[in-house]
Copies of this chain bind each other. A is one copy, B any other.
Amino acid sequence: MNRKIRMGMVGGGIGAFIGNVHRMAAAIDGKIELVCGAFSSDPQKSQESGKQLFLPENRVYNSFEEMILKEKELPEGERMDFVSIVTPNHMHFPPAKMALQHGFHVVCDKPLCFSMEEALELEALVKKTGLVFALTHNYTGYPMVKQAKHMIASGELGKIRKIVVEYPQGWLHQLVEATNQKQAAWRTDPKRSGIAGAMGDIGTHAENLAEYMTGLKITKMCAQISIMVEGRQLDDDGNVLLEFENGAKGVLHASQISAGEENSLNIRVYGEKGGLEWHQMEPNTLIVKWQDAPSQIYRTGKGDLCEAASAHTRIPAGHPEGYLEAFANIYRNAAFAIAAHMEGKKADALYDFPSVEDGVRGMNFVNKVIESGLAEQKWVEV
């Protein structure tokens, strides 16, 4: 491509946390340009947001429908190439569907959408249109996650036997949604968030990370799902026993009431020969453990890492890359895939990103985990 890929954004107006994250992630590598947006359902707020982002007034829209229709009329190279969707969960599906129907690629925040029906419809539409669809399960963008995935896939740990994946947070340890905290309000509201709270918001990240890193699918689960804070409508804590397709066992727990925890997503994987451990809050370190030899500390950018780890690293070892860089890896890879699509080429598998299929799996996980939480029998098949 001889130009940047052009992005239009749905949601992410002034004061939104995740919209700004998406914009920074898209900007870092200089491959993507924000050209338009429908930043809010409130036209004035959308305009004000566009102004702060230095967009021309005529590229700031009052609704995603308007944006898609008007941009469609612009010439290729001027109009947006893809839509970035950063709204609450219940507002993922409508713009995603319409964008795909009008020939725009899509980058969408997770979880994929609000219900399994929507998820399957999007999956079908992506398949039918052949357009690029990237889901921002951003944690898989970290280089050390790629390294771990590579080591497991190449059998260095032997057959995998046990997986422990955790995502503890503490920010909802009180009834924050009763104040005017915008992030908390929609995440704890079944109308906007869906049937799950913590399990949908962060449990799916844990599920996605475990399946991505190990290459193993969850086949059975047994969940204990709780609402710990009085007055809350959706789960804020959950503990799940897992079984994987190869017979490996595991534990997944996610929580928003683990007071004092930040975003302590972490995973441990044990195989017949060795184990490994990765923590999102110290993402440039991958600990590989052996029973009868010293543990090894793999570090982003250091030594002889796998091709995928190197391809997702920007700076030399010891200069920490963080959350935004991992997020940017998703955006950059989606941009590569969009560019390849434009040029009629196949996307390079090295530059991977979570897909609509991952999104469908995530929605299914949410449904099943809530089902299991309510069940009296031990196991629910996935």
Contact = CB atoms under 8 A, between A and B. Distances in A.
Interface of A: 2-4, 17, 20-21, 23-24, 27-30, 34, 51, 53-54, 157-158, 161-162, 164, 166, 168-171, 173-174, 222, 224, 226, 228, 237, 239, 241, 243, 249-251, 253, 255, 257-264, 268, 270-275, 280-284, 287-299, 301-304, 314-325, 375-378
B253 A224 contact: no
B259 A289 contact: yes
Given A259-B289, A260-B275, A290-B259, A30 B2 contact: no
A354 to B, nearest CB: 18
B257 A270 contact: yes
Contacts of A161: 228, 237, 257
Given A297-B295, A303-B290, A54 B3 contact: yes
A211 to B, nearest CB: 18
Q: Report the 3 A-B pairs with minimum CB-CB distance, sorted nearest first.
A: A260-B289, A262-B318, A263-B318
Contacts of A224: 222, 241, 243, 249
Given A260-B291, A263-B319, 11 more contacts: A2-B54, A162-B228, A162-B257, A170-B275, A239-B241, A239-B249, A239-B251, A258-B270, A321-B324, A322-B325, A376-B377
Interface majority SS (helix, strand, loop, mixed), chain A:
loop
Nearest to A139: B319
A280 B263 CA distance: 20
Given A241-B241, A249-B226, A291-B170, A260 B274 contact: yes
A19 B173 CA distance: 44
Contacts of A166: 164
Contacts of A287: 297
B315 A21 contact: yes
Contacts of A29: 24, 27
A162 B237 contact: yes
Residue with the greatest number of chain B CB neighbours at <10 A, chosen from A170, A259, A303? A259
Contacts of A51: 2
A171 B291 contact: yes
26 contacts: A4-B54, A23-B30, A24-B28, A27-B30, A30-B53, A162-B255, A170-B275, A171-B316, A173-B270, A222-B378, A224-B241, A239-B250, A239-B251, A259-B275, A259-B289, A261-B318, A282-B282, A288-B294, A290-B303, A292-B302, A294-B303, A297-B297, A322-B324, A322-B325, A375-B378, A377-B378
B237 A259 contact: no
B317 A263 contact: yes
B239 A259 contact: no
B27 A263 contact: no
Contacts of A271: 259
